[in-house]
């Protein structure tokens, strides 16, 4: 475990300790790096964070690197990460979401290594509903196995907020999400049904929008992008709708959806702008792409969330009979 973006402040250390203990109780050996505390916005300097992440991803004794959470400035470390060394090493899983998308997507594109847009370390002990798998079960699947994920019947509402882990030992050891809002599952922006395959790639809009057009965000280099087509997933954290629209347009103009056979848009509690909603943002940038757009997908910042494998060959199904996503690491 290392924190390539934000570190863990002292008042949340009990939650971190609980999560590490929870994994150890289940037989996992957990190595904690030096870049983990919170002296500022980030856990350490950009070169130090990059060096520790690179070393862990190149260490044959480490099976997965799972940051405690995202943050704000993972982008700082991209010029310092040794992607060539990582590409030459035995593959190691990188897991997370939010600002960690900066690294997940870049790593998959630059090294052709699968990564998991899933749950961070601080969320790992939470129990997921039927139809969704935690990251530690996904990464344990053998190559070629079918990884099935499906919509959640209930999610955590915006009003419920986040668990305050600092409010005593009981909260620090919480393992049950508050899922107080029923859902209508995944739905199409336009149309009635789809059944389509493609290579899965995507992540958090706010951090990937700025990478579009750079070597760290060029979807065209993903193996199979043209031959297999892409299923691109995007999800908004907390930016206002007008900013999300601008980011999505940046991604579109940089070619993010050129090979897309479908686009999955994550459920979000991000705020609307005056006279312009998050749905308007999606319609503005994606509405005339002439590819199916699936809304309210369980990925990212609204829990519970599916674990999505960047680079996996996926089959996406949405229709009157239900919805689902099958992923295979092939």
Do both 18 and 109 map to the same domain? Answer: yes
- Percent of the chain at pLDDT > 90 equals 98
- Tell how strand 260-266 and strand 293-297 pair up: parallel
Residues 122 and 26 placed together within one structural domain of the fold: yes
Assigned domain for 144 exists: no
> Do the domain assignments include residue 288?
yes
Rounded to whole angstroms, the Cα distance separating 119 from 95 reads 7
Check whether residue 188 and residue 308 sit in a common domain: yes
Predicted pLDDT of residue 319: 93
Is residue 3 one of the residues assigned to a domain? no
Tell me, what CATH number does 240's domain have? 3.50.30.60
User: What ranges make up the beta strands (E) of 178-271?
Assistant: 181-182, 187-188, 194-204, 230-235, 260-266
Query: What ranges in the chain are assigned the alpha helix state H?
Result: 13-25, 46-58, 83-88, 101-111, 135-138, 169-172, 205-208, 241-253, 278-286
Interacting residues of 316 by C-beta distance below 8 A, sequence separation 6+: 194, 195, 196, 197, 198, 231, 262, 264, 294, 324, 325
- Which residues span the domain enclosing 66? 10-130
Residue 280 included in any domain: yes
The residue from 99, 130, 161 where one domain ends is 130
Q: How many structural domains does the chain have?
A: 2
108 inside domain: yes
Question: Which pLDDT tens digit goes with each residue over 272-326?
Answer: 999 999 999 999 999 999 999 999 999 999 999 999 999 999 999 999 989 999 9
| Tens digits of residue pLDDT in 113-157 | 999 999 999 999 999 999 999 999 999 999 899 999 999 999 999
Q: How far apart are the first and last CA of the chain?
A: 27
pLDDT at 307: 96
- Cα separation, 298 vs 165, whole angstroms: 23
* Same structural domain, 214 and 319: yes
Residue 57 lies in a domain: yes
CATH at residue 21: 3.40.50.10740
Residue 71 is predicted with a pLDDT of: 97
Please indicate, yes or no, if residue 244 is contained in any of the structural domains.
Answer: yes
How much of the chain, in percent, has pLDDT values that exceed 70?
A: 100
Q: Which of 104, 145, 203 is nearest to 326 (CA)?
A: 145
């Amino acid at each position: 475990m290392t924190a390539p973006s934000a570190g863990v402040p002292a008042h949340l250390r009990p939650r971190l300790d609980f999560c590490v203990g929870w994994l150890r109780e289940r037989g996992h050996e957990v190595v904690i790096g030096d870049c983990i505390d919170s002296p500022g916005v980030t856990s350490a300097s950009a070169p130090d964070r990059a060096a520790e992440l690179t070393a862990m991803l190149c260490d044959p004794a480490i099976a997965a690197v799972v940051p405690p959470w995202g943050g704000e400035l993972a982008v700082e470390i991209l010029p310092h990460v040794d992607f060539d060394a990582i590409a030459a090493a035995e593959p190691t899983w990188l897991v997370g979401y939010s600002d960690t998308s900066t690294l997940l997507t870049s790593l998959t594109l630059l090294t052709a290594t699968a990564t998991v847009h899933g749950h961070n370390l601080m969320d790992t002990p939470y129990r997921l509903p039927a139809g969704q798998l935690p990251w530690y079960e996904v990464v344990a699947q053998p190559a070629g196995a079918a990884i099935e994920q499906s919509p959640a019947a209930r999610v955590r509402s915006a009003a419920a907020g986040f668990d305050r882990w600092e409010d005593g030992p009981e909260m620090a050891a919480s393992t049950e999400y508050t899922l107080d809002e029923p859902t209508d599952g995944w739905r199409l922006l336009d149309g009635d049904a789809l059944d389509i395959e493609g290579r899965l790639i995507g992540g958090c809009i706010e951090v990937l929008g700025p990478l579009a057009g750079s070597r760290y965000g060029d979807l065209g280099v993903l193996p199979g992008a043209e031959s297999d087509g892409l299923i691109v997933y995007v999800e908004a954290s907390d930016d206002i709708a007008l900013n999300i629209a601008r980011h999505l347009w940046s991604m579109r103009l940089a070619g993010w959806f050129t090979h897309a056979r479908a686009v999955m848009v994550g459920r979000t509690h991000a705020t609307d702008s005056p006279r312009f909603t998050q749905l308007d943002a999606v319609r503005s940038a994606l509405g005339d792409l002439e590819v199916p757009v699936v809304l309210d997908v369980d990925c990212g910042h609204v829990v519970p969330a599916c674990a999505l494998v960047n680079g996996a060959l996926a089959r996406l199904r949405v229709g009157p009979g239900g919805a689902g996503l099958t992923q295979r690491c092939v």
